[in-house]
Amino acid sequence: MMMNTIKCRLDLLDTYVPTKSFTPFAMDQDFDRIASSWFAQFSLSLRQQDVPGCVSLFHSSGWLRDLLVFTWNLRTLNGHDQILNYLTSNMKLTTISQLKLSSDDLYFKPSPGDLPGSISSGFTFSTPIGIGRGLFTLTPTDPVSGIWKAFTLLMSLHSLNDYEPIGAEQGNYHGNAMCWSEVREQRARVIEANPHVLIVGAGQNGLQVAARFKQMGIPTLLIEKNKRIGDQWRKRYPSLTLHTTKEHHTMLYQPYPETWPRYTPRDKVADWLEQYAVSQDLVVWMQSQPLPTPSYDEQKKEWSVCIDRNGQILTIHPKHIVLATGTLGGAYTPSVEGHSIFNGYTLHSDSYTGGPQFYGKRVVVISLALDIHVRGAKSVTLLQRSSTCVQSSKTVVEMLDRVWAPDIPTEVADYRAAGTPFNLIKQTLREHKDEYWEKDKELLEGLIKAGLNVDLGPDGSGILPLVSERGGGYWMDVGCADYVISGKIKVKSTSGIRKFTETGLMLEDGTVLEADVVVFATGFVNIRTVMKEIFGDAIDKAGPVGGVDEEGEVKGAYRSTGHPGLWYAPGDFQLSRFGSRFLAIQLQAIELGYMKQGI
């Protein structure tokens, strides 16, 4: 529910200063003059392909994020050496021209940045194949010199020439000779017969990617194994509500109504996804899934895929397959000795559909406990195997609200968020861990007193980095802490489980926990494990997905995987909403011969 929300500014950077001393400028500071002066030098260095000159415009600790401009990849570079090496290798591969400062753009004109005393501005530019946009933040090198340099710079390819988004249709088809239902049916038949792209999974990621592809003119077919769109949400426990606000998890092209709840309940998410597929005119086959093993023809550069469509076996030949089934695969349940003699029953948290089934039961849970207690379990014991990163939902949401605010258009917020690299956010959080501990001091100390081992992550940077790095190891408290602190939920820390007994669990220290039900909230295997059963060796060639690389970019996400025609679309609502643009551009670039693929 919160995958990859760390891709944001969060305004945490208002406490991060790249120089030792700083004098905030006056309110009448000429933002446009300072931004224009730096931008003129930057533009000249790009036009002249002057790499050293360009690098000199950055602080020594500055950041460059490049999304498909200099290479067909998503890259983040930090410091003069990395930026110099990157631009030396790649600047001459393209030509940057028609650079223009966004002086007339309400949201991207030169203005105070997130750093104290900084200036941020957007800009646009052209390349031989498309148009781009960018965003930079400047800070002075010292309080008196008047020299400003870039602390962060984002450049991205926004669209290819002559392949801009289609936009809204007129709604009048063939002089009204055809009604809408006929038009839609005709279009669907064409796509079903010859889809350019097959998307596996019609959850929020698959749907947003498909909606983006439709706008970019890419014929796309989605397949979903469930009976209805949204069932992957309906099958989860009834009290589930998204932990981020509606501004963060809004859908591409289709924001929620003003009356929509701030935190979206499970069933409303499910119904909205179902309605979204209709509103966006997406072609979806339900109760459908690929059969082992799709094959890729290197000469034709297309797949041959057999689809089980509700019992009917069909073969299609898409150029590309996008796996949008999430980063997580099947449930992981560790093997524990003596399971067969246990008189109670066990389940993985993935199969947990609500607490009422545990009414009057003694429950041992490895990680998750709130709903089970609230719904009437006789007792709940939280079995903790290692220290857990804990922060309150209030603290985390306050961070997100500073970027995805109600008065900021979603596309603007997403782009601003992209302007702050993951590793910079992590660094900033780490440097201010004491402040974040203080914010949740009462919560954390109460949990410690109750016997829970808590921290702010392995390096003190909190929940947000863990969401992308591990997809686990954290707990954003939305109420469970009160039950733990009050003792209504018991806590037992242990190095491990030795075995089941007839009546419960024996821990490594010899302690026996009596239980009628044991819930394993022990995580999931990586999606590659599940997909390998279908795609075979192609998954090995595709490389890893999930987590982040050393530059802070999500591995395998919305960029080349290493296998031609095979792509991943993981993450949360925000990541797929933003990343889908770059995935669409790459597919178009391959079709036009700009981007090469190879095994």
Write out pLDDT tens, residues 379-390. 999 999 889 999
Q: Please give the structure tokens belonging to residue 587.
A: 């597919």
* 190 & 150 share domain: no
Find where tokens 């011969």 sit: 593
Query: Is 165 part of any domain?
Result: no
Q: Quote the pLDDT of residue 474.
A: 87
* 442 & 471 share domain: yes
* 154 & 243 share domain: no
Q: Quote the pLDDT of residue 296.
A: 96
Looking at the structure of the chain, the number of domains it has is 3
- With a cut of 60, say whether residue 9 has pLDDT above it: no
* 491 & 573 share domain: no
Query: Is 166 part of any domain?
Result: no
CB 582 within 8 A of CB 559: yes
Q: For the chain, how far is it from start to end, CA to CA, in angstroms?
A: 33
Residues 374-425 have pLDDT tens digits of 678 899 999 998 899 999 999 999 999 999 999 999 999 999 999 999 999 9
Residues 185-197 have a mean pLDDT of 97
- With a cut of 60, say whether residue 17 has pLDDT above it: no
* 195 & 233 share domain: yes
* 69 & 193 share domain: no
Query: Is 174 part of any domain?
Result: no
* 155 φ/ψ angles, rounded to the nearest 5 degrees: -130, 135
Residue ending a domain, choose from 472, 497, 524? 524
pLDDT bucket at 370, cuts 50 / 70 / 90: low
Query: Is 177 part of any domain?
Result: no
Residues 305-347 have pLDDT tens digits of 999 999 999 999 999 999 999 777 778 888 999 999 999 999 9
Identify the CATH number of the domain in which residue 78 sits: 3.10.450.50
* 6 φ/ψ angles, rounded to the nearest 5 degrees: -70, -10
Residues 498-507 have a mean pLDDT of 96
* 309 & 411 share domain: no
**CA–CA gap between residue 11 and residue 359 (Å, rounded):** 44
Identify the CATH number of the domain in which residue 417 sits: 3.50.50.60
* 213 & 309 share domain: yes
Class of residue 308 by CB neighbours under 10 A (exposed 0-12, middle 13-18, buried 19+): middle
Q: Quote the pLDDT of residue 8.
A: 37
Give the CA distances from residue 482 to residues 130, 382, 508, in Å, rounded to whole numbers and listed in that order: 54, 13, 28
Query: Is 170 part of any domain?
Result: no
- With a cut of 80, say whether residue 552 has pLDDT above it: yes
Of 593, 574, 531, 586, nearest to 73 by C-alpha is 586
Helix/strand/coil for 9: coil
Q: Please give the structure tokens belonging to residue 153.
A: 């710079």
* 388 & 537 share domain: no
Q: Quote the pLDDT of residue 20.
A: 36
CB 519 within 8 A of CB 364: yes
Q: Quote the pLDDT of residue 278.
A: 98
Q: Please give the structure tokens belonging to residue 32.
A: 């446009």
Residues 236-245 have pLDDT tens digits of 888 889 999 9
Q: Please give the structure tokens belonging to residue 147.
A: 């020299």
Highest mean pLDDT pick, 52-56, 139-143, 509-513: 52-56
* 419 & 354 share domain: yes
Residue ending a domain, choose from 160, 195, 230? 160
Cα 405–chain centre separation: 18
Residue ending a domain, choose from 482, 498, 524? 524
Residues 223-228 have a mean pLDDT of 98
The total of other beta-carbon atoms located within 10 Å of residue 298's CB is 11
Query: Is 1 part of any domain?
Result: no
DSSP-derived secondary structure letter, 522 = -
Q: Please give the structure tokens belonging to residue 138.
A: 């400047």
Query: Is 168 part of any domain?
Result: no
**CA–CA gap between residue 568 and residue 538 (Å, rounded):** 13
CB 391 within 8 A of CB 463: yes
* 335 & 282 share domain: no
Q: Is 385 left (phi over 0), alpha (psi -120 to 50) or beta?
A: alpha
Cβ-defined contacts of 109-113 (< 8 Å, 24+): 109/32, 110/31, 110/32, 110/34, 110/35, 110/36, 111/31, 112/31, 113/137, 113/138, 113/139
Give the CA distances from residue 177 to residues 181, 182, 186, in Å, rounded to whole numbers and listed in that order: 12, 10, 14
Query: Is 6 part of any domain?
Result: no
Q: Which domain holds residue 128?
A: 12-160
* 370 & 442 share domain: yes
Of 101, 3, 138, 7, nearest to 414 by C-alpha is 7
Helix/strand/coil for 367: coil
- With a cut of 50, say whether residue 57 has pLDDT above it: yes
Cα angle vertex 259, ends 258, 264, to 5°? 100
Per-residue exposure over 532-543, b if at least 16 CB sit within 10 Å of its own CB, e if not: bebbeebbeebe
